Amino acid sequence: MGNSSSLMLRDEEIDEISRDTEFNRNQIVRLYSRFLSLDKKGQGYLERDDFLNVPELAVNPLGDRIVDAFFTLAGDNEQKLNFRQFVRILAHFQPINRGKKNVLNGRREKLRFAFQMYDLNKNGYITREEFKVILNSMVGANITAEQLDKIADRTIEEADGDHDGRISFDEFCRAMEKTDIEEKMSIRFLN
């Protein structure tokens, strides 16, 4: 109960966040109420479990990878996400505005989120094993282990420019060159 006052969002904060992330006021307020509904324990920050309580996320094969990426990108070793960080990361998925300078939601930033999801040990490279883990969680039940290996090998080969057996962030970006990331990795945040 005593925490509730510190949970309330002050106007200056809203403006700051708005400047930082380019969300407008209404969107931020909406996201704030979402944040509060996720933060069931009322701690003022989100933990991993809070995310996994979202029912659809639990069924999503990449669910825990997404959550993982959230925490990694927040740069927080304590695995706690405050509202600022929450909004900041969601800002990555705003549609790209051709007129404005896209700091958070540019192509590279979107790709970095995707990359983080793959890179399990956070060393800046996706190895064959890490890729197999992801592929397995997406497809695994439906194909044999041999097919999984082949698909993984094939995909790594395609992207691996310097043939070191793993994919760096630059190679990842280059592999995604022709994909319309701007459209695929954007969602419309309602006003």
Partner 1 sequence: MRKLESWAFFVLFVCSSAIENGTSHENGSTYQILSFDFPAIETPFLVASWLILASAAKMAFHSKYFPDSSLLVVVGFILGWVFYNGFTWIKVQYYELESSYFFHFLLPPIIFDAGYFMPNRALFENFGSVLLFAVVGTVWNTMAIGSALYFLSLYEWFSVSFEIFEVLTFASLISAVDPVAVIAVFEEVHVNEFLFINVFGEALFNDAVSVVLYKMFRNFYDIGSESVQIVDYGKGMVSFFAISLGGTAVGIIFAFAVSLITKFSQNMRVLSPIFVFVLPYMAYLLADSMGMSSILAISICGIVMKQYVKGNLTPTGVNSVKYFTKMLAVGAETVLFMFLGVSAITSPHHFDWTFITCTIVFCLVFRTIGVIVQCTILNKFRKKKFSVIDQFILSYGGLRGAIAFGLSASLPDSMSTKPMFVTTTIAVIYFTVLLQGVTIRPIVNWLKVETKEDRQKTMTESIYTKYFDYTMSGIEDIAGIRGEHYIRDTYERLNAKILKPILMQNEAKKDFDASVIVRAYAKITLEEALHLKEQKKRKLDERLTIDRSAISDSSMDIHIPQERIRLISSSKTRLQKLEDISKQKQINETEELQDDYMAQINVANMRSQQNAPNSSQLQPSSSSANI
Residue closer to partner 1, measured from CB, 9 or 38: 38
Residue closer to partner 1, measured from CB, 9 or 57: 57
Residue closer to partner 1, measured from CB, 20 or 182: 182
Q: What is the largest CA-CA distance in the chain?
A: 57
Q: How far apart are CA 36 and CA 155, in angstroms?
A: 40
Residue list 122-161, contact with partner 1 (CB under 8 A): 134-135, 138-139, 141-143, 147, 150-151, 153-155, 157-159
Q: Using the rule CB under 8 A, is 173 a contact of partner 1?
A: no
Q: Using the rule CB under 8 A, is 41 a contact of partner 1?
A: no
Structure tokens at 132: 């197999």
Nearest to 85 by CA among 94, 93, 76: 76
Q: Using the rule CB under 8 A, is 51 a contact of partner 1?
A: yes
Among 17, 28, 31, 73, binds partner 1 (CB under 8 A): 31
Binding interface with partner 1 (CB under 8 A)? 31, 34, 37-38, 51, 54, 56-57, 59-63, 66, 70, 90, 93, 95, 113-114, 117, 134-135, 138-139, 141-143, 147, 150-151, 153-155, 157-159, 175-176, 178-180, 182-190
